[in-house]
Structure 1
Amino acid sequence: MSASFSQVSAPGRSVFPFESPAPVEILARGALLAHGRVVQRLNPIRDERWNDKLAAVAPDAFFPGKGWALVLAQTYGYAPEYFAEQTGGRLEALLPVMEVDSWLTGRRGISLPFTDYCDPLAADAAAFRQLFDAAVAHGRSRRWKYLELRGGQPFLAAAPPAQQYYGHELSLAGEEPELFAALKSATRRAVRKAQHEGVTVEFRSDVRGIRQFYALHCRTRRKHGLPPQPLRFFLQVQERILDHGDGIVVLARAGARYIAGAVFFQKGATALYKFGASDERTLRLRGNDLVIWEGIRHYAARGCRKLYMGRTSPANEGLLRFKRGWGAREYPIPYYRYDLRKNAFVPGHDETVGWHNRVFGALPLSLSRLLGALLYRHVA
């Protein structure tokens, strides 16, 4: 996602497996000395020029930006700990981390919470290693259970992943007829059916639009046996991202009824499909297909070259089929969890799948919303 950072290890250099992280010296003002280089702990929320600094070296990097940091910090109280090497105020390497401090699930560092993927920004394996060692050293001082990286496969190919997901990348290069022809035939039929049924689409970035999406989000989460994210999370998304022109809500209507919606983010020439939702009672109208297609048209017209369609669990076969229907390139997204007590990468499991799905799927929406508001901060 970066025009200036190379996110591939140097040939012949393997980062892991490796000996325990190198000793790190803690310097003044939160800086750390790792491998003879100074690594700073930065808070993007307090830096008025953060997005400019990031854009100068990684113009398409959305999740390390200030807007997403504000959403996570303001909604859940997470503390930004962005480990960076700078030269003259210019970012040279970056590992964005949020500290999650929960009485229920423990204290740990995550790069980054509620983020589909977040590759470290580093020119080579050595640059990544100094960021990693600095983060581990800080985590020990804060008594983290572990450091979780949601990306970084080029640097961590030899490490066992804690979890594995799929990502989907869709090229937006070409004219609209070419983009439509690249869809699988079933997806093209679904889009045409929605249009034939008279389903209309709205592009919104206001509070009313995000509230309409949230109502659909609640229904969709219950269908999948999960509580919804709290409303305040989506209101922060609207205030910190959509209201700044970095995203949109696409809503589908059948008459006066909203039947499907999607939330997209954008940074540089890259668009991100972050959230999707629909009313299960009107799935036959295929509004969920139409909002994705209209999002594709919208961002292709704005000059975006790629659309990332988020992560998908291997266990979610229905969502995998849906995303494959858009003709996107499928690739693995491994997550890594480094246990600071064992000094080792450890396995994990997909916590979205389990016995709790039956419980949440049976709850009334009001109770499910309440539990979501209480629990998500601890899940991250």
Structure 2
Amino acid sequence: MEIRILQDAEEWDRLLLRFPYNHPLQSYEWGMVKSHFGWQAHPCLLEEGGSPMGMALILTKRWGFLPWKVMYVPRGPVLDYEDEGAIESVLSFIEAKAREEKAIFAKIDPEMPEGHPLEEILRKRGWRYSREQIQFRSTLLLDLHPSEDELLRRMKQKTRYNIRLAGRKGVQVKEGSLSDLPLFYRMYRITSRRNGFPIRPYRYYERVWRTFLEKGMAYLLIAEHEGQPLAGVLIIRLGGKAIYMYGASTNEKRNLMPNHLLQWEAIRRARALGCTTYDMWGAPDNPNPSDPMWGVYRFKEGFGGRFVRYIGAYDFVVSPQWYFLYHRVIPAYLAFLRRLALSPSLRRIRGRSCGQRRNRCPQERLPFQGKIPLFM
């Protein structure tokens, strides 16, 4: 087996499309994005007899001031997962690369369905199911082969009704451009506050969105009513798959159901571009009304997608001691700091130090509150 570091973006993406389990997070463009935020990208092409056997966009990042690194192959590696010999060879390479890079561990999370033989191969080689799942383990996939009429027929009756309601009420969907990215981020920030999830600064998303839009690997749609922006989606695509990776909406005129029409138009656009699968990008692992994602799941389910659960992320541990520290000790310490920050006694002390006058105190922020995981 021969290993090549391939620094040609066009050749990398062209070869990536030759494999059935490719993904935008294994594209050269994703490595370029992450390289602007502290990661080093290693686009590794594995060849056997001059023919591509597998590909792995490997990301490494130093852990603080320590000499150790973390290593991640997002939604990869990419190879023929029906070829056990190829699986063994590529995993062997990643394990050796982790040792070479002095990584605490290597993480992979290919989109293989739960129960795939890969799980047993990983366990036999000493990989362990990861405590830190970065990407969604479950999702809903919509088959785009049927006609538009058939796609509508397969939807939940309420979803069809809401799509048509939005149209009757005058909601319109337009294609966005690079100049609309600040608007899209403002809506994304509103969504994060409403739904209680942390997001990164604008410069991070602007880099992601601009990179994929300029390469023709994404499209932005915005729903408006009487000229007022209400919602937006940014769809990233590669090969035959379109992924609903970013969605945002304001708190205005939600009764007009702009998100339903917007989603339908995104699906229609994906189909027109030749995509055969539309990935709703995220669902609860065990859908039930008590799950925090239940509302999101019900919205996505209404479009008629098929529920899929993947094997999830697996880690190959190089340094057990540092791995324990990374996954157990530090999270426990951060949780302790959060509890301490919430304690009434500490709040009283803070109140006295601020002269008991709220308008003289800086806005409180709990330590490490809302931090985004290192890998995202």
User: Which TM bucket (shorter chain)?
Assistant: 0.7 to 0.9
Q: Describe the superposition over 1:240-281 as per-residue Cα deviations: whole angstroms up to 9, x where unpaired.
A: 211222110111112232111111112222211111111134
Give the counterpart of 1:254 among 216, 220, 225. Answer: 225
Q: Which has the greater radius of gyration?
A: 2
- Give the one of 151, 162, 165 matched to 1:193: 165
- Cα distance in 2 for partners of 1:249, 1:177 equals 24
Q: State the match for 1:86 in structure 2.
A: 47
- Whole-Å separation in 1 of the counterparts to 2:165 and 2:65: 47
Structure 1: gaps of 5 or more residues: 1-36, 360-366
Cα distance in 1 between the residues matched to 2:57 and 2:215: 22
1:49 partner SS:
helix
| Structure 2 equivalent of residue 137 of structure 1 | 96
Are the equivalent residues in 2 in contact too, given 1:119–1:152 (CA < 8 A)? no
**What's the CA shift string for 1:97-151, capped at 9, x where partnerless?**
2113231897211121xxxx44531351221222222222221232212111122
Q: What are the superposed Cα offsets for residues 60-104 of structure 1, whole Å, 9 maximum, x if unpaired?
A: 643322222222222x13111234312576422123221132318
2:242, 2:278 within 8 Å by CA — same for their partners in 1? yes
Percent of aligned pairs sharing the same letter: 21
Asked whether the equivalents of residues 120 and 128 of structure 1 are also in contact (C-alpha less than 8 Å), the reply is no
Alignment map for 1:106-121 (pairs within 5 Å):
107-112=69-74, 117-118=75-76, 120-121=78-79
Is 1:170 paired with 2:142? yes
User: Is the CA contact 1:222–1:228 (under 8 Å) kept in the aligned structure 2?
Assistant: no
Match of 1:292 in 2: 263
Q: Report how many residues are paired.
A: 320
- Over aligned residue pairs, what C-alpha RMSD do you find? 3.4
For 2:372 and 2:5, the matched residues in 1 are separated by: 25
d(CA) in 1 for partners of 2:65, 2:258: 39
Q: Shift in Å at residue 212 of structure 1?
A: 1.7
Contact in 2 for aligned 1:60/1:270 (Cα 8 Å)? no
Q: Is contact 1:41-1:81 (8 Å) kept?
A: no
Within a 5 Å distance, the mapping from 1:327-342 to structure 2 comes to 327-333=304-310, 334-342=312-320
Match among 60, 76, 79 for residue 99 of structure 1: 60
Alignment partner of 2:129 out of 161, 167, 181: 161
Aligned twin of 2:190: 219
Is the CA contact 2:31–2:57 (under 8 Å) kept in the aligned structure 1? no
Which residue is equivalent to 2:352? Answer: none
Residue deviations 1:181-206, cap 9 Å, x none? 111112112212211221111112x2
Q: Cα gap change, 1:182/1:235 in structure 2, threshold over 3 Å: closer, same or farther?
A: same
Larger displacement relative to structure 2 (92-101 or 171-180): 92-101
Distance 1:138 1:55 in 2: 24
| Contact kept? 1:102, 1:378, Cα under 8 Å | no
